């Protein structure tokens, strides 16, 4: 079987598992388990907690003790076990610790899947820069397919989504063991601090990089808001619009966000080269402002549907212009001695610290605007939109950067 096809399947399954439950989780917690706003927020902090140290620890294991493809398979098999018990859990405390356990083994697999792909492509003499992006995009497609499947079959609001994720995780685990061997890197002597990107904190001595990393953390908050509350928000329309497509097929509707994400990736080279990182980051923050603002005035019928669709469309710019462009900025602006660590720090601050703050903070906001009559979603989304707008205005004033188009070069995707 063609090795590129095999790696395409790997990346497809890797994010298929994630898409099977991540977007629908908030609605399930609120609608079926009746968790309070703060409790739902706490559940979503587990994404950040698991991202703080586990990827670095697992990276060391993959380098020195267990081949990456075998470790990838083992973690997915363990994850399938967690999914089995999550499907049967209804109380908050047990659910919190089980989802934390699951994410502790799943989040490192995102990096491991890349490691396995890079190694196998290199071993087979492929140009990784040219070939891997075309393979990796199938991961996003896998996420979308899973998200739509869960919504189409009516599993978004019940525990079948976890059994579904469990089955795919088992398949992914077994499949990983069939991949070509990734040799250990026993000569690799990086410390845990280096693997976590913590040695890159020296970059905070430079004003430009310090401001960038601080705002990267604050922007990490907004992604978690979107993950946690989009599904619960769409579920809130069920009483007034029970037959609306946006309600009955909310997962499919929300999947437009991920479709937009795949399209906006293609625009990054142009925008980054034309306008520079400062303008592109501001565009991201303003897109988040529009994402939340359109949610606030949206509804499943009439002109409100248009607002909801616009919210899904601008998500692509909000996500890509921050995550992808931010990574490219680090690549071009940091010394080669710290480049790898700086990328690790970027992930640590956004997916780790930012995600924890986003989960906790959004939970308190939602709880504040929740009464016996229900949640005041307009006020909730306006608070989130205001947060994004304030970030944009502060970044515009505080971040000092002179754009040099030649520094970006010809970026290829």
Q: Are 311 and 177 in contact (CB under 8 A)?
A: no
Q: Are 53 and 108 in contact (CB under 8 A)?
A: no
Q: 375 pairs with which residues across the strands?
A: 370
pTM confidence score:
0.84
Q: Are 323 and 178 in contact (CB under 8 A)?
A: no
The predicted structure's pLDDT at residue 205? 87
Q: Is the dihedral of CA 291, 254, 107, 85 positive or negative?
A: positive
Instruction: State the CB neighbour count (10 A cutoff) for residue 263.
Output: 12
Reported as half-sphere exposure (CB side, CA atoms, 13 A), residue 295 has a value of 32
CA distance 179 to 303: 50
The predicted structure's pLDDT at residue 188? 55
Identify the three-state secondary structure at position 34.
coil
Q: 374 pairs with which residues across the strands?
A: 371
Q: Are 300 and 308 in contact (CB under 8 A)?
A: yes
Q: Are 34 and 140 in contact (CB under 8 A)?
A: no
The predicted structure's pLDDT at residue 410? 46
Rounded to 5°, angle at Cα 83 from 28 and 95: 55
Q: Are 300 and 237 in contact (CB under 8 A)?
A: yes
Q: How far is CA 155 from the centre of its chain?
A: 21
Tell me the C-alpha to C-alpha distance, in Å, between residue 400 and each of 77, 171, 291: 47, 48, 26
Q: Are 270 and 321 in contact (CB under 8 A)?
A: no
- In DSSP notation, 187-208 reads T----HHHHTTGGGGGGGGSHH
Instruction: State the CB neighbour count (10 A cutoff) for residue 163.
Output: 18
Q: 254 pairs with which residues across the strands?
A: none
Task: Return the C-alpha torsion angle 243, 27, 357, 114, nearest 10.
Answer: -100
Q: Are 168 and 146 in contact (CB under 8 A)?
A: yes
The predicted structure's pLDDT at residue 338? 65
Helices marked H in 87-159: 92-123, 128-152
The predicted structure's pLDDT at residue 327? 78
Q: Which domains does the chain have, with CATH numbers?
A: 1-188 (1.20.1250.20), 190-413 (1.20.1250.20)
Buried b (16+ CB within 10 A) or exposed e, 92-114: beebbebbbbbbbbbbbbbbbbb
The predicted structure's pLDDT at residue 198? 66
Q: Are 202 and 127 in contact (CB under 8 A)?
A: no
Q: Which positions of the chain have pLDDT values less than 70?
A: 1, 63, 129, 185-198, 336-340, 404, 406-413
Q: Are 284 and 321 in contact (CB under 8 A)?
A: yes
CA distance 149 to 156: 9
The predicted structure's pLDDT at residue 59? 72
């Amino acid at each position: 079987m063609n090795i590129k096809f095999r790696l395409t399947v790997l990346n497809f399954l890797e994010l298929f598992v994630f898409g099977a439950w991540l977007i629908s989780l908030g609605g399930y917690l609120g609608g079926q388990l009746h968790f309070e706003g703060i409790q739902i927020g706490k559940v979503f902090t587990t994404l950040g907690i698991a991202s703080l140290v586990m990827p670095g620890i697992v990276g060391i294991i993959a380098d020195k003790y267990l081949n990456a493809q075998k470790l990838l398979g083992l973690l997915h098999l363990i994850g399938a076990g967690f999914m089995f018990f999550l499907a049967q859990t209804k109380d908050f405390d047990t659910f919190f610790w089980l989802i934390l356990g699951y994410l502790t083994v799943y989040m490192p697999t995102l990096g491991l899947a890349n490691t396995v792909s890079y190694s196998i492509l290199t071993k087979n003499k492929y140009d990784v820069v040219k070939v891997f992006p075309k393979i990796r995009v199938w991961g996003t497609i896998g996420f979308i397919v899973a998200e739509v499947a869960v919504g189409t079959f009516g599993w978004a609001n019940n525990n079948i989504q976890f059994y579904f994720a469990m089955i795919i995780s088992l398949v992914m685990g077994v499949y990983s063991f069939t991949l070509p061997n990734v040799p250990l890197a026993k000569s690799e002597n990086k410390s845990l601090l280096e693997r976590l990107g913590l040695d890159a904190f020296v970059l905070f001595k430079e004003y430009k990089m310090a401001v960038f990393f601080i705002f990267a953390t604050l922007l990490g908050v907004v992604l978690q808001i979107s993950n946690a509350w989009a599904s619960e928000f769409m579920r809130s329309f069920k009483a007034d619009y029970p037959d609306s497509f946006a309600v009955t097929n909310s997962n499919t509707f929300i999947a437009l966000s991920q479709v937009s994400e795949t399209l906006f990736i293609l625009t990054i080279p142009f925008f980054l080269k034309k306008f520079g990182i400062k303008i592109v980051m501001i565009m991201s923050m303003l897109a988040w402002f529009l994402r939340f603002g359109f949610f606030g005035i949206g509804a499943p019928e009439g002109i409100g549907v248009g607002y909801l669709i616009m919210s899904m469309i601008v998500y692509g710019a909000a996500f890509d212009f921050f995550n992808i462009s931010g990574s490219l900025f680090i690549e071009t602006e940091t010394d080669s001695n710290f480049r790898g660590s700086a990328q690790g720090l970027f992930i640590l601050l956004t997916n780790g610290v930012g995600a924890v703050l986003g989960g906790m903070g959004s939970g308190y906001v939602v709880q504040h605007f929740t009464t016996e009559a229900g949640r005041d979603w307009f006020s909730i989304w306006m608070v989130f939109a205001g947060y994004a707008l304030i970030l944009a205005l502060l970044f515009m004033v505080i971040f000092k950067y002179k754009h040099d188009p030649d520094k970006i070069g010809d970026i290829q995707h």
